[in-house]
Amino acid sequence: MNHVIRSHDRVPPELVEAFAGLDVATVHEAQEKRGAMRAAIRAITPNVRLCGTAVTVKSQAGDNLMLHKAIEIAQPGEVIVVDMEGWEGGPWGELMTVSAQARGCAGLVIDGFVRDSAAIRSTGFPVYARGTSIKGTFKQALGWVNHPISCGGVLVRPGDIVLGDDDGVCVVAQEDAEAMLRASRARELEERVLLERLAAGETIWGLGGLDAVAKAAGLREEALDEVRR
């Protein structure tokens, strides 16, 4: 089996771009609450957004050899998504950020840590990680590039769509992309209408029929005539 795979199915760029303006939470809800990575994986820079297709990396703890290989083969618009086996070190820093950005990468998502965080923030390159660590790495051990991995508790395959904003990261399977785009846009429209009604004074309790849900669950509350006494 090849450690590195270069050829895989790719989502049309225009379809990927169509996801760019959507809130990540909206997409997550639209695909029935699937695809959200663990909340510990967050943007190290506020107010950045991430949208692209995955180049997946499985590295051994303490070694970033295969991350460098991923930068080498990544195509413009692709996101490097890394399973670092939970190692608490900094396998990605300023030099790799500059290199990846120059080659057109759309960002990094790593189930692990990064370093040189101030320098990374200055570039505007979207990086999502568990946090920061100054610990260095080796460049010796083989791993896997563009094989299915688990990142943040989510299955990620090469070519899947990866989205990120201040709320977190969500993955959309490439074969579901068209359907999830339609569902996300429909949900976005529904929320706009709902926001207008909420701004006019209505409540989600009333609009969502939550009174019936609560009563079915056994809710008890003080009667209105008792309150008025």
What confidence score (pLDDT) does residue 226 get? 62
Distance CA 171, CA 11 (A): 13
> Burial of 123 by CB count in 10 Å (0-12 exposed, 13-18 middle, 19+ buried)?
middle
What confidence score (pLDDT) does residue 120 get? 98
Domains in the chain and their CATH numbers? 13-184 (3.50.30.40)
User: Using one digit for the tens of pLDDT, what is the confidence trace for 35-94?
Assistant: 999 999 999 999 999 999 999 999 999 999 999 999 999 999 999 999 998 789 999 999
What are the b/e assignments for 29-65, b being 16+ CB within 10 Å? bbbeebbbbeeebbbbbeebbbbbbbbbbbbbebbbb
- State mean pLDDT over 195-207: 94
Helix, strand or coil, per DSSP, at residue 225:
helix
| pTM reported for the whole predicted model | 0.92
Distance CA 139, CA 201 (A): 59
Place of tokens 């791993």: 143
Q: Kindly report the backbone phi and psi dihedral angles of residue 45, in degrees, each rounded to the nearest multiple of 5, phi listed first.
A: -125, 125
User: Using one digit for the tens of pLDDT, what is the confidence trace for 87-139?
Assistant: 899 999 999 999 999 999 999 999 999 999 999 999 999 999 999 999 999 99
Q: Long-range contacts: 113-119, Cβ < 8 Å, 24+?
A: 113/84, 113/87, 113/88, 113/89, 114/44, 114/90, 115/90, 116/90, 117/44, 119/93, 119/94
Residue 211: its H or E element: helix 210-216
User: Using one digit for the tens of pLDDT, what is the confidence trace for 134-175?
Assistant: 999 999 999 999 999 999 999 999 999 999 999 999 999 999
Whole-Å CA distances, 152 to 38, 71, 83, 130:
5, 21, 8, 9
User: Does the structure show a pLDDT above 80 at 227?
Assistant: no
User: Does the structure show a pLDDT above 70 at 13?
Assistant: yes
